[in-house]
Structure 1
Amino acid sequence: MVVDFRRAQSHHSPLFIDGCPVEIVKSTKFLGVHLVENFTWSLNTSSISKKAQQRLYFLRRLKKAHLPPPILTMFYRGTIESVLSSCITAWFGNCTVSDCKTLQRIVKTAEKIIGVTWEETRVPIGNP
């Protein structure tokens, strides 16, 4: 992937490594984060939301098995919240409003499944 911040678009000559040209791609996945040439994060957000939606299925199954809310919360934090917050400092600041709503919808769905709101389960940090 070629990253060029110049305003005027220009053609980039091919890069050769060991005599073979390096392929120029529009997007790539690096350390679990989808990087797109124009640095939009919609592809990354859709990938994250898809993973989280798949894990919500298992949260629903655990709820049907009548597990208590603390166990469901622990499962959520270990399997879903960890996916939602992976490399969040890199991509969340430039997310669109619709991407943020998509992620928030997953969190709200998990709250409904577990039957708690996160304010009830969080430990206060710092002075009250």
Structure 2
Amino acid sequence: MNSTVMTMETLRFLGTTISQDLKWDTHIDSIVKKAQQRLYLLRQLRKFNLPQELLKQFYSVTAESVLCTSVTVWFSSATKSELGRLRRIVRTAE
């Protein structure tokens, strides 16, 4: 119908960044950045000597929820290095 179709490098859909080549590096970059920001907040909260259980809940609600969003979509096709970056975030929180 003589319509022009626009192509895009990446598309953000329901919180998941999908790239044109169907690789997940852009998405994983964004969730690692978000998780690191939230871990910074967690470190700041530790300075106030909050109970361990409260810190665990904060991690679960803020950082873990970011890491697990749409994990069933991208996890199986993520590279080892990308998964390693995610593991480092989790180990840092531990």
Instruction: Tell me the CA shift for residue 50 of structure 1.
Output: 0.3
Q: Percent identity?
A: 44
Q: Which residue does 1:68 correspond to in 2? A: 51
Which blocks of at least 5 consecutive residues in structure 1 are unaligned?
1-14, 112-128
CA RMSD of aligned residues (A): 1.0
Q: Which residue does 2:6 correspond to in 1? A: 23
Q: Which residue does 1:43 correspond to in 2? A: 26
| Count of residues in Structure 1 that have an aligned counterpart in Structure 2 | 93
Displacement over 4 Å in runs of 4+: none
Q: Tell me, in whole angstroms, the C-alpha distance in 1 between the residues paired with 2:7 and 2:61.
A: 36
Instruction: Tell me the CA shift for residue 23 of structure 1.
Output: 1.6
Q: Which structure is richer in relative contact order (CA contacts within 8 A, separation 6 or more)?
A: 2
Residues 103-122 of structure 1 mapped to structure 2, 5 A cutoff: 103-111=86-94
Deviations 1:35-74 (CA, angstroms, capped at 9, x unpaired): 0111111110010000000001110011011011100000
Q: Which residue does 1:96 correspond to in 2? A: 79
Q: Tell me, in whole angstroms, the C-alpha distance in 2 between the residues paired with 1:24 and 1:41.
A: 18
